[in-house]
Amino acid sequence: MTILTADLTADLTAAMVYISLICQIFTISIYLANKWHKNRARLLIKYPSDDYPNLYVVSAQVELSRIKFRQRFDGVIALFSGLVVAYFYLNNADIQLVSSTIIIIAAIQLVPWFLSSYWCQGNNKLMAENFPSTKRKSSFITRKITDFVKPSRLIIALISYSLSVGFCLYIFIEKLWQAQSSNVLLLILLSTAMVAYLVWLALNSLYGKKKDNFISSEDRIDIIAAKCRAAILFITLYSCFIIGICLIKTYDLNEVYVEVLTSLFIQLLLILSFSNNSEKNYQVYK
């Protein structure tokens, strides 16, 4: 009976790892990537550079070549990742080995997204150079983050971060991870660095220089609100992610659950980031 239970648990764990890995490949390199390709192509078709000269800082040919390159890049990564999973499954690879590749494959899948972010930053820089803008008006400077994010959400984010740091300190003080208890300090450092970065993003959205001098005040407010809400939500989610890792290691659960949790967390962040884009009035770019 004990052997049967152990085999069943091992099979369920293996199924969980393979399902999370397949979902990760489909979500990041197929579903979301395909939405990105279609959205960029739709933008070029619906708002051509001839009619909207101030919308683009590079030519339409450059934008199209980037879309095609990104499409092929995502396709190659999805195919490669799928072949790796198939190889593991057909050869009955050790589940610890399979789970350890989740983070590696995720890192490879995120390369096209970082590349797109690099292109976007380059476009924003060119936009700022071609159409210089000053600091936002005083009406924007006097705004506070509570104008865009409910105080209750701020409190939840603060509590979740405090709980994650408190849990980590408790693990370190009580030596719950025994010889590895000092490693929890790295989690505190990582968590604090991520929270500081997200807070900086929110404050920069509120008080930073305008990157687009054509955008209307209403659209700018919507974008600021979306970025602030997203930053606060990510702080809460990241804190919960840290707490989840601590619980898995504290209760000495299978290490593969850490990789599975990381995979789900990355997918959730990308989905939320992708759905956070707000519509704006493109007529101002004519």
CA distance linking residue 184 with residue 171, whole number of Å:
7
* pLDDT tens by residue, 228-281: 888 889 999 999 999 999 999 888 888 899 999 999 999 999 998 887 666 677
Looking at the structure, do residues 139 and 128 belong to the same domain, yes or no?
no
Q: From CA 146, how far away is CA 161, in angstroms rounded?
A: 18
- Which pTM was predicted? 0.85
Q: Is 225 helix (H, G, I), strand (E, B) or coil?
A: helix
Domain co-membership, 102 together with 224:
no
Are residues 114 and 70 in contact, defined by beta-carbon separation less than 8 angstroms? no
Q: How confident is the model at residue 80 (pLDDT cuts 50, 70, 90)?
A: very high
Estimate the crossing angle of helix 256-275 against helix 95-130, to 10 degrees.
30
Domain's final residue, options 87, 108, 132 = 132
Percent of the chain with pLDDT over 70: 87
Name the domain boundary from 115, 132, 149.
132
If asked whether residues 44 and 87 sit together in one domain, one would say yes
Please tell me whether residues 81 and 176 are part of one structural domain. no
128 and 139 housed in the same domain:
no
- Is residue 180's pLDDT more than 90? no
The reply to whether 51 and 127 lie within a common domain is: yes
**End of a domain among 132, 153, 179?**
132
141 has pLDDT over 60? no
Handedness of CA 67, 69, 71, 73 (dihedral sign): negative
Q: What's the pLDDT score for residue 113?
A: 94
Specify the higher pLDDT residue, 111 or 138: 111
pLDDT of residue 156: 94
- 144: containing domain: 135-253
Q: Is residue 122 part of a domain?
A: yes
Is residue 21 located within the same domain as residue 125?
A: yes
Q: Does residue 88 sit in the same domain as residue 140?
A: no
State whether 121 and 101 are in the same domain. Answer: yes
**Number of domains present in the structure of the chain:** 2
Neighbouring CB atoms inside 10 A of 100's CB total 14
C-alpha span between 226 and 206 (Å, rounded): 11
CA distances from 267 to 31, 80, 198, 237, 271 (A): 11, 19, 18, 12, 6
Among the listed residues 279, 277, 263, 282, the one whose alpha carbon sits nearest the alpha carbon of residue 36: 277
DSSP state of 208: S
pLDDT, tens only, 214-242: 676 777 777 788 888 888 899 999 999 99
- Is the pLDDT confidence value at 208 over 60? yes
Task: Determine, yes or no, domain membership for 167.
Answer: yes
266 Rama class: left (phi>0) / alpha (psi -120 to 50) / beta? alpha
CA distance 281 to 284: 7
Do 232 and 107 lie in one domain? The reply is no
Q: What is the pLDDT of residue 135?
A: 47
148 or 76: whose pLDDT is higher?
76
Same domain, 88 and 10: yes
pLDDT exceeds cutoff 80 at 17: yes
- Cβ–Cβ < 8 Å for 27, 270: yes
- Both 20 and 75 in a single domain? yes
Say whether pLDDT at 71 is over 90.
Answer: yes
Q: Copy the structure tokens of residue 16.
A: 């969980």
pLDDT confidence of residue 35:
93
Confidence of residue 36 (pLDDT cuts 50, 70, 90): very high
Let me know if residue 21 belongs to a domain.
yes
Q: Mean pLDDT over residues 109-131, rounded? A: 85
